[in-house]
Amino acid sequence: MDQSFIKELTTFHKTKDNPFRLVGAGICMLSILLLGYALHDLAIGSFGSLGIFTFLYYQNIPIKQLITRLSLVGFFLLLGNFLGMLSTHLSWTAPILVGLVAFLGRLLFRLFKIAKPGVFFIVLVTGMGSSTKIPLESIPKMSFFFLVGILISIIVACLVQKTEKLPPVPVKKVTLQERLYTDPASIVDALFYGGILFFAVYLSQSLHLVNPYWLVVSCAAILQGDTLRAMMHRNVQRIFGTTVGILIASFLLNLPLSTFQSIIVITMLYLTVEFFIRRNYAVANFFTTPMTLLLSMLVRHQYVFSLVQYRFLGIVLGSLLGLLSAWIMITGLTFYNRAFQLHEILHDDIEK
């Protein structure tokens, strides 16, 4: 491993985030988990916690545009998870649906310049839906819980916007046709992305992995990098961070925590992830794994050793697949650039 990898693992980037944004993220997670606890139905917390990913797309823009933006993102999240759950009743459709959602999401989020996390969480909830077999009659109920998480996110986001010290920056209105004209490589990029995740779902199902979405999500996370170099760094960071996270998870999962105590720990882990995710991706992954596993234990009570073991296997396989796919995608786009002179930027330094 060269020095640049080691430096990236130990570097903490400075951010100018509104501190109330972190508070808002914690309120979203805690409120949905406590709602499930109070109503004696932890599925509310489990599916509602997916809906609060909507809050992660917050930006300091005018309230009307903010509500519109988060509503559209929330709808996309809800639709992806709904289609994923439906696909479990006809398993051969899962790779197709995840691939289509990934393609459409990557294309639209790139064209409309929806900054990171971009399409990642859309793929995450779709992959989770395709790995969680819910009876057909229960799918509307679970989608409703998901919707509650979205509504909480929008309300909290509007409150956070009121705390901004800087004036909101309006989003310029540009037609879809104009966006396609100025970014013609977006369709090819989205095709590569959707095709890779189609294969990731197919591979995860073929290997009969427990919680196969971990492979898919890891692959999607690596492909979040803007350049091949950034993806290579992210691959190392994710595997290293997951290894440390599994040690933390092994400790926490063996503690005799009550349901309420688990909710508090999950919220604290979520806040920690949100604090570090823009500062140091590897450190953020220290806490992502225990948070995810505690959420799984909260609802399903799976065997701890198997849960940890398959989490690690899925993430390593997904990360390596993502890195290989990134090389193929970058190489393909490089040749596409040469043919059509699109001047797509592919070889910058590490993403800031």
What DSSP assignment string belongs to 331-346?
HHHHHHHHHH------
Q: Is residue 346 part of a domain?
A: no
**pLDDT for res 341:** 56
**pLDDT for res 163:** 93
> How far is Cα of residue 179 from the mean position of the Cα atoms in its chain?
25
| CA-closest candidate to residue 100, choices 206, 190, 230 | 190
Q: Is residue 217 part of a domain?
A: yes
**pLDDT for res 10:** 65
**pLDDT for res 114:** 83
More confident residue, 203 or 176: 203
Q: Is residue 351 part of a domain?
A: no
More confident residue, 250 or 300: 250
Paired tokens of 148: 């509650």
- In the predicted model, is pLDDT for residue 349 greater than 60? no
pLDDT, average across residues 29-56? 92
Q: Residue 67: which pLDDT band, with cuts at 50, 70 and 90?
A: very high
CA dist 175 and 112 (Å) reads 9
Q: Is residue 347 part of a domain?
A: no
- In the predicted model, is pLDDT for residue 222 greater than 80? yes
Q: Cα(first)–Cα(last) distance of the chain, in Å?
A: 20
More confident residue, 280 or 62: 62
168: buried, middle or exposed (CB in 10 Å: 19+, 13-18, 0-12)? middle
Q: Is omega for the bond preceding 168 within 30 degrees of 0, making it cis?
A: no
Contact present, 149 and 29 (Cβ < 8 Å): no
CA dist 270 and 152 (Å) reads 16
Contact present, 3 and 236 (Cβ < 8 Å): no
**Amino acid in the structure at residue 133:** K
CA dist 41 and 303 (Å) reads 21
More confident residue, 345 or 93: 93
**pLDDT for res 71:** 95
| CA-closest candidate to residue 70, choices 88, 82, 52, 83 | 52
Contacts of residue 244, defined as CB under 8 A and 6 or more positions apart, other chains included, come to 285, 286
Largest CA distance in the chain: 61
Q: What is the pLDDT of residues 157-197, one digit of tens each?
A: 999 999 998 899 888 888 888 888 888 778 888 898 999 99
CA atoms within 13 A on the CB side of 51: 30
**How many independent structural domains does the chain possess?**
1
| CA-closest candidate to residue 125, choices 91, 107, 149 | 149
pLDDT, average across residues 306-314? 70
- In the predicted model, is pLDDT for residue 255 greater than 70? yes
Q: Is residue 53 part of a domain?
A: yes
- In the predicted model, is pLDDT for residue 278 greater than 80? no
Question: Among 138-142, 217-221, 227-231, 251-255, which is the least confidently predicted range?
Answer: 227-231
pTM reported for the whole predicted model? 0.85
- In the predicted model, is pLDDT for residue 27 greater than 80? yes
Paired tokens of 100: 């289509």
**pLDDT for res 299:** 64
In this structure, what DSSP letter does residue 220 have?
Answer: H
Q: What is the pLDDT of residues 324-344, one digit of tens each?
A: 888 887 777 677 666 655 555
Q: Residue 248: which pLDDT band, with cuts at 50, 70 and 90?
A: confident
CA dist 229 and 350 (Å) reads 6
| CA-closest candidate to residue 149, choices 230, 83, 56 | 56
Contacts of residue 126, defined as CB under 8 A and 6 or more positions apart, other chains included, come to 80, 81, 83, 84, 97, 98, 101, 102
**pLDDT for res 112:** 87
Q: Which residues form the domain of 17?
A: 3-168+175-340
Question: Among 31-45, 208-222, 304-318, which is the least confidently predicted range?
Answer: 304-318
CA dist 121 and 314 (Å) reads 17
Q: Which residues of 187-209 are buried (b: 16+ CB within 10 A; e: fewer)?
A: ebbbbbbbbbbbbbbbbbbeeeb
- In the predicted model, is pLDDT for residue 347 greater than 50? no
| CA-closest candidate to residue 99, choices 131, 123, 118 | 123
**pLDDT for res 8:** 62
Q: What is the pLDDT of residues 103-127, one digit of tens each?
A: 999 999 888 888 767 888 899 899 8
> How far is Cα of residue 53 from the mean position of the Cα atoms in its chain?
8
